[in-house]
């Protein structure tokens, strides 16, 4: 059947979607969520169908195409395309098997991930896959298969170097911008550390959001290789390159219900590390009230799984369990966190000592793993590199290679409007809740407003007098500041006893 193209002028984000008038759908015996092969010349795509009753939206004899489909077909309004019905992907049968609690093999999991990567599955179908993994779980073999499938359906950053270092924090701790201190220390020691990081999903800032305050974070694989050749390192957004791409689509589905199936968590992290040719990996699991992992028992369980899967992937791993019961650093939000990082690298008196201490510890472990320091001597060497200014110079080199300019902490501008949250009584700070602090910072506009967020004046165990500043909220306008203040009045997240 030939149909005339109508540009819907809407993008879906990634699913391939086409819209038919209900009369044409009836002729083709098509229903919602059916697949249609759309062909223009030598190019063709398989799209999921939506149906409209309105001739104004899509008249009979026409097919409405979303931006993703138009781009793949190189089509525009007025072109003619051939359409035909196609069967649903076989991967849907594999998803049904998982929903029934059956174990899947590598070929079945690969097919599911390949179909997700190539937009052959709808968001509803991917949701069923995520739900199946969440309710039925993935055993060790399935998790390894999922990891390998994510790797093999994306690009690989081939570096032909050894060792290649990498690190990852499970998350859930506000601030905690250790990566941006650790990477220049490790690179300054002569080790290769290509760091791809995420943007924020539910936090006030991801590493990529904070690094973007200083320089560009979006590059092609070829450009990343050139940056690493110049500097031994990079600090870029992983979403800008085709590394384990199906993972980003799965995360988008998980987000609304905050689902984080264990097997997918492990596969997600390790697939992205293997995709950058990492040979040595340091995993940081923060544990504590308000963190993503709240019990040491759960952290130890994850530690064993990380070690087992990494062994099968040929990655040498070290997993550390640290206190994650309160924010790390003082700044929470892209520019406030970037300022903290630069103060640490500049050895400024205003540097947050908890961020410095953790960064040195993590960098020290990587130096030991990479053979640049003897066991137990890594922290001392990392501190020497930091204090000498070598880490700061390396960070400047990375920033320049990533199209940024030389910048000092005091050059970073933060939100113009502010509100001071003060202690309601004298005592000792006994708890600062990560989740509450993150929600307040996001209400103020972080991470989209890079100058928005929170600056902590006090941490757990600090003494306060009634009226002392505990934290300051920053926003770019009065409206967002007012919104954040309303949120903090409900959940300030600070306990003073």
CATH for 15: 2.40.40.20
Q: Are 270 and 121 in a shared domain?
A: no
| Catalytic residue selected from 260, 348, 435, 492 | 260
CA distance 352 to 329: 5
Q: Are 279 and 131 in a shared domain?
A: no
In a domain, 55, yes or no: yes
CA distances from 204 to 90, 98, 445 (A): 40, 35, 8
Last residue of a domain, one of 86, 118, 152: 86
- Closest of 290, 74, 302 to residue 172, by C-alpha: 290
What's the pLDDT at 93?
A: 96
Domain residue limits at 131: 91-137
What does pLDDT average to over the chain? 93
In a domain, 347, yes or no: yes
In a domain, 95, yes or no: yes
CA distance 413 to 474: 11
Sequence-ordered list of residues with C-beta below 8 angstroms from that of 262, at least 6 positions apart, any chain? 137, 138, 302, 305
CB-based contact 381:430 (threshold 8 Å) = no
pLDDT at 44 over 70: yes
In a domain, 153, yes or no: no
What's the pLDDT at 257?
A: 66
What's the pLDDT at 259?
A: 66
In a domain, 211, yes or no: yes
User: Which helix (H) or strand (E) element contains residue 475?
Assistant: strand 469-475
What is the number of domains present in the chain? 4
At 65, the pLDDT band (50, 70, 90 cuts) reads very high
Residues 387-435: pLDDT tens digits?
Answer: 999 999 999 999 999 999 888 999 999 999 999 999 999 999 999 999 9
Q: Are strands 469-475 and 453-456 parallel, antiparallel or unpaired?
A: antiparallel
At 291, the pLDDT band (50, 70, 90 cuts) reads confident
Q: Are 371 and 234 in a shared domain?
A: yes
Peptide bond before residue 447 is cis, with ω within 30 degrees of 0: yes
CA distance 133 to 414: 42
- Which three-class secondary structure state does DSSP give residue 270? helix
At 256, the pLDDT band (50, 70, 90 cuts) reads low
- Closest of 292, 259, 33, 268 to residue 131, by C-alpha: 259
Residue that has been written with the tokens 């040195």 in this structure: 360
Q: Are 110 and 78 in a shared domain?
A: no
In a domain, 390, yes or no: yes
Helices (H), 346-433: 353-369, 378-387, 390-401
Please report, for the domain that includes residue 427, its CATH number.
Answer: 3.90.1170.30
Torsion region of 422: left, alpha or beta (phi above 0 gives left; psi -120 to 50 gives alpha): beta
Q: Are 172 and 260 in a shared domain?
A: yes
What residue ranges in 198-249 does DSSP mark as E strands?
233-237
Q: Are 211 and 67 in a shared domain?
A: no
CB-based contact 52:21 (threshold 8 Å) = yes
Across-strand partners of 456?
A: 471
Give the CA diameter of the chain: 77
Q: Are 355 and 222 in a shared domain?
A: yes
CA distance 73 to 91: 24
Across-strand partners of 197?
A: 237
Q: Are 265 and 367 in a shared domain?
A: yes
- Tokens at 251, concatenated: 């995360």
Q: What's the mean pLDDT in 178-185?
A: 98
- Which three-class secondary structure state does DSSP give residue 368? helix
- Closest of 379, 335, 390, 331 to residue 355, by C-alpha: 331
3-state secondary structure 413-473: CCCCEEEEEECCCCEEEEEECHHHHHHHHHHCCCCCCCCCEEEECCCCCCEECCCCEEEEE
CB-based contact 106:100 (threshold 8 Å) = no
CB-based contact 211:182 (threshold 8 Å) = no
Going by the DSSP 8-state scheme, the letter that residue 164 receives in this structure is B
pLDDT at 281 over 70: yes
In a domain, 154, yes or no: no
Q: Are 201 and 77 in a shared domain?
A: no
- Tokens at 134, concatenated: 């969440």
Across-strand partners of 464?
A: 427
* More reliable by pLDDT, 465 or 253: 465
Q: Are 25 and 127 in a shared domain?
A: no
Asked if 260 is an active-site residue, the reply is yes
Residue that has been written with the tokens 């015996």 in this structure: 29
CA distance 72 to 41: 12
- Closest of 453, 415, 406 to residue 215, by C-alpha: 406
Q: Are 13 and 125 in a shared domain?
A: no
Q: Are 214 and 128 in a shared domain?
A: no
Residues 316-370: pLDDT tens digits?
Answer: 999 999 999 999 999 999 999 999 999 999 999 999 999 999 999 999 999 999 9
Q: What's the mean pLDDT in 11-36?
A: 89
Sequence-ordered list of residues with C-beta below 8 angstroms from that of 377, at least 6 positions apart, any chain? 364, 368
What's the pLDDT at 239?
A: 79
In a domain, 360, yes or no: yes
Residues 97-151: pLDDT tens digits?
Answer: 999 999 999 999 999 999 998 888 888 899 999 999 999 999 999 999 999 999 9
Last residue of a domain, one of 70, 86, 102: 86
CB-based contact 73:45 (threshold 8 Å) = yes
Lowest mean pLDDT among 6-10, 249-253, 430-434: 249-253
Model pTM above 0.95: no
């Amino acid at each position: 059947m030939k149909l005339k193209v109508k540009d819907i002028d809407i993008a879906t984000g990634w699913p391939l979607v086409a819209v038919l008038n209900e009369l044409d759908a009836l002729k083709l015996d098509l229903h919602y969520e059916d697949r249609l092969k759309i062909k223009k010349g030598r190019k063709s795509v398989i799209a999921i169908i939506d149906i409209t009753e309105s001739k104004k939206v899509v008249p009979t004899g026409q097919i409405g195409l979303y931006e993703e489909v138009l781009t793949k077909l190189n089509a525009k309004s007025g072109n003619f395309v051939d359409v035909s019905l196609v069967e649903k992907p076989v991967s849907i049968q594999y998803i049904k098997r998982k929903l029934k609690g059956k174990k899947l093999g590598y070929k079945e999991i690969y097919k599911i991930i390949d179909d997700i990567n190539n937009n052959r599955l709808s968001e509803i179908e991917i949701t069923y896959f995520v739900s199946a993994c969440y309710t039925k779980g993935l055993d060790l073999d399935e998790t390894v298969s999922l990891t390998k499938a994510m790797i093999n359906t994306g690009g690989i950053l081939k570096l032909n170097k050894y060792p290649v270092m990498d690190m990852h924090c499970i998350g859930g701790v506000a601030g905690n911008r250790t990566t941006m201190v650790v990477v220049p220390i490790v690179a300054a020691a002569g080790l290769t550390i290509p760091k791809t990081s995420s943007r924020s999903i539910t936090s006030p800032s991801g590493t990529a959001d904070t690094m973007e305050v200083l320089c560009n974070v979006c590059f092609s694989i070829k450009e990343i290789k050139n940056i690493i050749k110049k500097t031994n390192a990079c600090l870029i957004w992983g979403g800008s390159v085709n590394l384990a791409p199906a993972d980003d689509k799965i995360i988008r589905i998980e987000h609304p219900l905050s689902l984080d199936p264990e097997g997918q968590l492990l596969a997600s992290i390790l697939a992205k590390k293997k995709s950058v040719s990492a040979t040595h990996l340091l995993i940081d699991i923060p544990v504590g009230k308000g963190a993503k992992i709240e019990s040491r028992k759960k952290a130890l369980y994850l530690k064993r799984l990380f070690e087992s899967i990494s062994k099968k992937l040929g990655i040498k791993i070290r997993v550390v369990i640290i206190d994650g019961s309160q924010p790390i650093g003082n700044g929470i939000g892209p520019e406030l966190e970037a300022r903290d990082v630069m103060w640490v690298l500049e050895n400024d008196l205003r540097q947050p000592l908890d961020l410095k201490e953790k960064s040195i510890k993590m960098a020290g472990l990587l130096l030991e793993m990479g053979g640049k320091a003897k066991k137990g001597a890594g922290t001392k060497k990392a501190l020497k590199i930091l204090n000498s200014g070598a880490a700061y110079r390396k960070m400047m080199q990375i920033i320049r290679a990533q199209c940024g300019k030389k910048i000092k902490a005091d050059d970073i501008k933060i939100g113009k409007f502010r509100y001071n949250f003060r202690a309601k009584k004298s005592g000792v700070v006994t708890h600062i809740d990560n989740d509450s602090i993150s929600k307040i910072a996001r209400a103020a506009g972080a991470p989209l407003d890079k100058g928005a967020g929170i600056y902590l004046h006090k941490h757990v165990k600090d003494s306060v007098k009634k009226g002392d500043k505990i934290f300051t909220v920053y926003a770019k306008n009065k409206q967002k500041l007012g919104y954040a203040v309303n949120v903090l009045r409900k959940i300030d997240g600070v306990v003073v006893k």
